[in-house]
Amino acid sequence: MAASPTLIKKVMGVESAPFIIYPFRASPSASSRILKAVSVDSYGTPTTLSSSSTTFPNRSLGEPDPDRLIVISLGIRSSFAQPNLTFSIGGVPMNKVYSNSLSANIMSFLLWAIVPNGTTGDFTIDNIVIDNSQFWTYFNIYRVIGGSETIVDSAIVSNTVNPSATLNTKNGGLVFATTASNPPGPAVDWSNATESYDVQTPANGDVISCAIAQTNGSPLSISATHNGAIDIYVSFCAVSFRPK
């Protein structure tokens, strides 16, 4: 049986095995639409791979909706860089923003796609550089109703224990940020965003964390502080989503 990550602390969502998904609902008026988040699933596992593809079957996606935007926050630790990974959820290809640490291949991803149908779906990762020594994943799935697949802005940062970025936003939108690091220290401290999860992997002690912020149309500066980490072992990425 695969080891489970240790939940360090949690502000949003519900505690579950290792995957968390949050839905976002909009108000009826498009001009005053405000995205909201609900957690639906979470999962993490260490594994070795003899294939260039791996699938996590039957992940929860929450209630179907024509405007359902699925967002996945993902952390990966591998023996190799994985720059060409592709992803799908419920058979739908996903967009991605990706950051890798300068050393040790500690990666942060944000993935998203409009997935209107089904209450569950397989989460698949393809084009993996085969790793027979370690390939550790932790992901959280979020359900966002009324979000657009066309993003406002994105950012990637690495090589600093205090990664930060300023993103353009839309009123009623959301910014997601994901970060990962090693060696582990105390839990990640976020600025200008509400932490969704903070976990430590059982294999290498890597810390993976995600935070979410509501936006009002003004530029948003968001930062994460990795206490006790080393700069070359930190990755960070962020995406600004708009209502339709």
Q: Where are the alpha helices (DSSP H) in the chain?
A: none
Domain locations in the chain as residue ranges = 6-241
Which region among 21-25, 103-107, 156-160, 227-231 has the lowest average model confidence (pLDDT)?
A: 21-25
Q: What tens digit of pLDDT does each residue of 170-227 get?
A: 999 999 999 999 876 668 999 999 999 999 877 677 889 999 999 999 999 999 999 8
Q: Are strands 68-78 and 135-145 parallel, antiparallel or unpaired?
A: antiparallel
Task: Give the distance from CA 201 to its chain's centroid.
Answer: 15
For residue 141, give the nearest of 65, 72, 93 by alpha carbon. Answer: 72
pLDDT score of 32 = 58
| Token code pair at residue 207 | 């810390």
Please, what sign has the CA dihedral across residues 87, 72, 111, 208? Answer: negative
HSE (side-chain half, CA atoms, 13 Å) at 208: 35
* Least confident segment among 35-39, 129-133, 187-191: 129-133
Candidates 114, 222, 223, 213; CA nearest to 170 is 213
CA distance 134 to 128: 12
Whether 236 has a pLDDT exceeding 90, the answer reads: yes
Which has more confidence, 38 or 178? 178
Render pLDDT for 55-66 as a digit per residue (tens, 0 to 9).
999 999 999 999
Residue linked to tokens 């990666």: 107
Is a pLDDT exceeding 50 seen at residue 131? yes
Type of residue at 233: Y
The Cα–Cα gap between 74 and 59 comes to 14
